[in-house]
Structure 1
Amino acid sequence: MATSSTSSPATEIRLWKTNAEREQVENLADLYAIIVTVDRLEKQYIRDSIPSSEYTPACTKLIAQFKTALNLVQDQVPSVEAFMKEYRLNCPLAANRLLKVGVPATVEHGGGLGGAGGGRDAGNSAKYVAETVQHFITVMDSVKLGLVAVDQLHPLLADLLPP
């Protein structure tokens, strides 16, 4: 019985050499995971597999996490579109929700958080509440991650102030 002499034990490929490089790779992985998760969440919402009451808070939290993650990798990721292309992410629903709309579909269309009247004002009010909560969560997550420099926090805090 002949054995192959070309087989060798699997070699480990290290993606980083320092802790800083490891942190960068993990931050990019977080951004990747958030984009994929938002795309899947949007598909589930479209298919009515998830109720609005669960979709809205989950989507709001993911949008806030996306903004925080993007803030962490802003030096490595000049544009999210380029990042998605480089890593072959085909997530058009996530790209629309995260880059263009910026709020959950229930807020965008006034279907999830509207007031008793259910009119246009209630939908706009719900949109502003969701955006404010989203910005607040982004600031909180940034502080928890140790982003305490003025140039890092000021743009996030400015989003909380009225125009």
Structure 2
Amino acid sequence: MYGQQRQLAYAPTPYSYTPAPSTSATINLDEEVKLSTTSAERDLYESLAEVYSIIITLEALEKAYLKDSITESEYTETCSRLLKQYKSNLQDTTVANAFGDLETFKQEWDMECPRATERIRLGLPATVEQPSMKPAAQGSDSNAKSSLIVTATENFITLLDAIKIGMLEKDVLHPLLVDIIQAVNKVTDQDFENKSKIIQWLITLNQMKAAEKLSEDQAREIQFEIQQAYHGFKATL
């Protein structure tokens, strides 16, 4: 009797499943899976992919700069462009909402990029943040150095005046702080008292949206700390 039973093609289990012909026939394994169904979704995914590639490229650029595989001028130009592209992509509200924040984005896509993270956090190339060599004007040309000192002093005063009259928006103060750090670095490559405060305020402002403003307490704090940095700068002259 058992010899006459039909042999099964597989060993049956309580969870065995045979797909229905009608269901399996509708699946084409060679068909490309589309992430988006509308042009808006496609634009969003393209923007997020662009942000991803910018972060990866920044990480590689920072490593190349540390290894002297790229000149300072090439590094500065490329880094500045990448940072601008990063900010430009995230100015779109839809992209910014989908992106979240940098740490969340990195965790979601399993990204290890500490150098790029620090560069984005500051928003400036390393060559602007801290010069790697003494300016040519030091010692050899007192007139040129005097001119650089005047420019740095004017930049400090311009920023402090802007704060005093209530111009506290990120898109006003951040460029003025960039002017200050660039100007003082042309005068001296030495750290001076409270110079780090300039960098810290650059980081704070860089995390804000363009139209965001400092609070009243922040305004008083930045005014005090930039004045202290100005005094520290003058003490080195």
Common fold by TM > 0.5: yes
1:156 matched to 2:178: no
Aligned to 2:101: 79
1:55 matched to 2:75: yes
Change (3 A) 1:86 1:9: closer
Stretches of structure 2 that go unaligned for 5 or more consecutive residues are: 1-27, 140-144, 156-176, 183-208, 214-222, 224-237
- TM-score using structure 1 length: 0.66
Q: Which has the higher contact order (CA 8 A, sep 6+)?
A: 1
Could you list the per-position Cα deviations for residues 41-99 of structure 1 after superposition, in whole angstroms to 9, with x for gaps in the alignment?
00100110000011001111111111111222111122111001101111111001002
Change (3 A) 1:158 1:112: farther
1:91 matched to 2:145: no
Aligned to 1:136: none
Could you list the per-position Cα deviations for residues 107-126 of structure 1 after superposition, in whole angstroms to 9, with x for gaps in the alignment?
1112389573399969x77x
Of the three residues 119, 123, 137, the one matched with 1:116 is 137
Larger of the two Rg values belongs to structure: 2
- TM-score using structure 2 length: 0.46
Note the C-alpha offset of 1:33: 0.7
Change (3 A) 1:71 1:49: same
- Report the aligned-residue RMSD: 3.4
The count of aligned residue pairs is 128
8 Å Cα contact 2:90-2:96 kept in structure 1: yes
8 Å Cα contact 2:61-2:75 kept in structure 1: yes
Aligned to 2:124: 103
Stretches of structure 1 that go unaligned for 5 or more consecutive residues are: 1-7, 133-154
